[in-house]
């Protein structure tokens, strides 16, 4: 099934949270969407069903983003199904419970590093080779990076690497009219953010931005859609999408 004349997007981590909202938003904008997931096939298929019920086109593809061979197969499937790849929205990521550096378990460090850094690098590498001219690559950092909060040593280290990879890729793709940016959400009401936090902590973080609420996945999806579509003069940037925290 080849889709002629339609832009094609791969959304990693597209089965839940921000990734799912991005997948649905890009589909609503007229793109054919490949919903990538690591293990939750049921949620990924639910995302596909939602898109197709609304008249869009989507498939779900399982791939471990930290496995370069699996990521290559993900892009192969997108090309075989829809004819190419124009947009890569890399939303797959993991977060560890806040832990002081002095108490860090190196197995946790390696797990978060594997998904957030190795995974971003593997996706960026395939994007560099496969995204069609005129396309867009969007990665995901975090606004917590600018706050230097105690306990976020592992997570911030990985997201600092994501920003570095993204900025360098933007320059390496010179001459191909491909934009490369990263979105850095602030506290956003997803399972990834809420897991392990008590109500007092969540309420305190919700009051940090001048808009005095947590972000919603739809807020982040709006920015990703902007970068994936009309924002052709925004390149090599970090968009801190956080309601005004920093």
User: pLDDT tens for residues 47-65?
Assistant: 999 999 999 999 999 999 9
In a domain, residue 100? The reply is yes
Catalytic position from the list 82, 152, 155, 193? 155
In a domain, residue 233? The reply is yes
In a domain, residue 33? The reply is yes
Confidence at residue 2, expressed as pLDDT on a 0 to 100 scale: 41
In a domain, residue 192? The reply is no
pTM: 0.93
3-class secondary structure per residue, 51-77: HHHCCCCEEEEECCCCCHHHHHHHHHH
The stretches in the chain having pLDDT less than 70 are 1-4, 192, 196, 246
Would you mind telling me the total number of residues written for the chain in this entry?
A: 246
Confidence at residue 209, expressed as pLDDT on a 0 to 100 scale: 84
- Tell me which residue of 87, 59, 113, 64 sits closest to 221, measured CA to CA: 87
User: pLDDT tens for residues 181-234?
Assistant: 999 998 887 776 777 677 888 788 788 888 888 889 999 999 999 999 989 999
Angle at 57 between CA 14 and CA 48, to 5 degrees: 40
In a domain, residue 18? The reply is yes
Confidence at residue 204, expressed as pLDDT on a 0 to 100 scale: 82
In a domain, residue 134? The reply is yes
What's the domain range around 178? 8-187+217-239
In a domain, residue 179? The reply is yes
In a domain, residue 143? The reply is yes
Annotation marks residue 155 as catalytic? yes
Number of domains the chain contains: 1
Confidence at residue 196, expressed as pLDDT on a 0 to 100 scale: 67
**How far apart are alpha carbons 146 and 239 in whole angstroms?**
12
Q: What is the CATH number of the domain that holds 152?
A: 3.40.50.720
């Amino acid at each position: 099934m080849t889709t002629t004349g339609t832009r094609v997007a791969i959304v990693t981590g597209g089965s839940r949270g921000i990734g799912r909202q991005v997948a649905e938003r890009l589909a609503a904008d007229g793109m054919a969407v490949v919903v990538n997931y690591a293990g939750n096939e049921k949620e990924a298929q639910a995302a596909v069903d939602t898109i197709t019920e609304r008249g869009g086109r989507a498939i779900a593809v399982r791939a471990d983003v930290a496995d370069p061979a699996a990521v290559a197969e993900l892009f192969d499937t997108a090309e075989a199904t829809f004819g190419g790849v124009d947009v890569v929205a890399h939303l797959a990521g993991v977060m560890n419970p806040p832990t002081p550096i002095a108490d860090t378990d190196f197995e946790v460090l390696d797990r978060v590093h594997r998904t957030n850094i190795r995974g971003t690098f593997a996706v960026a590498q395939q994007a560099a080779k496969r995204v069609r001219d005129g396309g867009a690559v969007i990665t995901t950092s975090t606004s917590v990076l600018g706050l230097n909060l105690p306990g976020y040593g592992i997570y911030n280290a990985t997201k600092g690497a994501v920003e570095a990879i993204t900025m360098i890729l933007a320059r390496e793709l010179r001459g191909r009219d491909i934009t490369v940016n990263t979105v850095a959400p602030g506290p956003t009401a997803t399972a990834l953010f809420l897991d392990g936090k008590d109500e007092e902590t969540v309420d305190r973080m919700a009051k940090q931005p001048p808009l005095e609420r947590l972000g919603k996945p739809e807020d982040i999806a709006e920015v990703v859609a902007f970068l994936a579509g009309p924002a052709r003069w925004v390149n090599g940037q970090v968009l801190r999408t956080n309601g005004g925290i920093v």
